Structure 1
Amino acid sequence: MTKKQKKPWPTKDVMHQIYDMHLWGGKDFDFYSGEGSHNPEIINPYLDAIIGFLNAFAEKITVCDLGCGDFNIGKHLATYSKKYTAVDIVETLIERNKKLFKKDNLEFRCLDISKEALPQADCIILRQVLQHLSNAEIQSTLKKLEAFKYIILTEHIPVGSFTPNKDIISGQGIRLKQNSGVNILEAPFNFKIKNEKQLNKYVLDDKKGRIVTTLFEVF
Structure 2
Amino acid sequence: MLKNFIKKLIPKQLYEWRINQSLKRYNDMTPEQVFTSIYEENVWGGKAGEFCSGSGTTNPNVGLYVEKLVKFIQQQQIKSVLDIGCGDFRVMKQVTQQTNVQYTGGDLVKSLINFNQKQFANEKTNFQVLNAITDELPKADMLTIRQVFQHLSNEQIISVLQKTKDFKYILVTEHIYSGNDAVANLDKKAGPDIRLYKKSGVFLETTPFDKKASVFLEYAEDMIVFGKQYPALMRTYLIEN
Would you say same fold, with TM above 0.5? Answer: yes
Matched to 1:130, the amino acid is F
Give 1:199 shift. Answer: 2.1
Residue equivalent to 2:105: 86
The within-5 A match list for 1:23-172 is 23-27=43-47, 30-39=50-59, 41-57=60-76, 59-79=77-97, 80-161=99-180, 162-172=182-192
Once residues 150 and 78 of structure 2 are traced to their aligned partners in structure 1, the CA distance between those partners, rounded to angstroms, is 29
Output the amino acid matched with 2:230: K
Superimposed CA distance per residue, residues 25-75 of structure 1 (whole angstroms, 9 cap, x where no aligned partner): 112661000011012x22111111111111113x44211000000101111
The separation in 2 between residues aligned to 1:163 and 1:18, in whole angstroms, is 27
How far does residue 198 in structure 1 lie from its aligned partner after superposition? 2.5
Structure 1 residue 208 displacement after superposition = 6.0
Task: Give 1:212's aligned residue.
Answer: 235
Number of residue-to-residue matches in the alignment: 210
Is 1:176 the counterpart of 2:196? The answer is: yes
Under a length normalisation based on structure 1, what TM-score does the superposition of the two structures give?
Answer: 0.89
Q: Which has the higher helix share?
A: 2
- Which whole-Å CA distance do the structure 1 matches of 2:117 and 2:146 have between them? 20
Matched to 1:143, the amino acid is Q
Amino acid aligned to 2:44: W
Name the CA shift for 1:28/1:48 in 2 (closer, same or farther; >3 Å): farther
Q: Could you tell me how far apart the structure 1 residues matched to 2:220 and 2:136 are?
A: 32
Name which of 176, 199, 210 aligns with 2:217: 199
Check 1:29–1:214 CA distance in 2 against 1; reply closer, same or farther (3 A cut): farther
Structure 1 residue 163, shift from structure 2 partner? 1.2
Alignment match, 1:11: 31
Q: CA–CA distance in 2 between the matches of 1:133 and 1:111?
A: 15
Q: Report the Cα offset of residue 159 of structure 1.
A: 2.0
Q: For 1:188 and 1:74, locate their aligned partners in 2 and report how far apart those are by CA, in whole Å.
A: 29
CA distance in 2, matches of 1:42, 1:119: 29
In percent, how many aligned pairs have the same letter?
A: 35
Alignment check: 8 A CA contact 2:45 2:54 kept:
yes
Would you say the 8 A contact 2:121–2:127 is kept in 1?
no
Counterpart position of 2:226 = none
Instruction: Tell me how far apart the structure 1 counterparts of residues 194 and 140 of structure 2 sit (CA, whole Å).
Output: 28
Deviation at 1:16, TM superposition (A): 0.5
Q: Give the gaps of 5 or more residues in structure 2.
A: 1-23, 224-228
| CA-to-aligned-CA distance 1:86-111 (integer Å, 9 cap, x gap) | 10010000000001102212121111
How high is the TM-score relative to the length of structure 2? 0.81
Amino acid at match of 1:64: L
> Tell me, which stretches of 5 or more residues in structure 1 are unaligned?
none
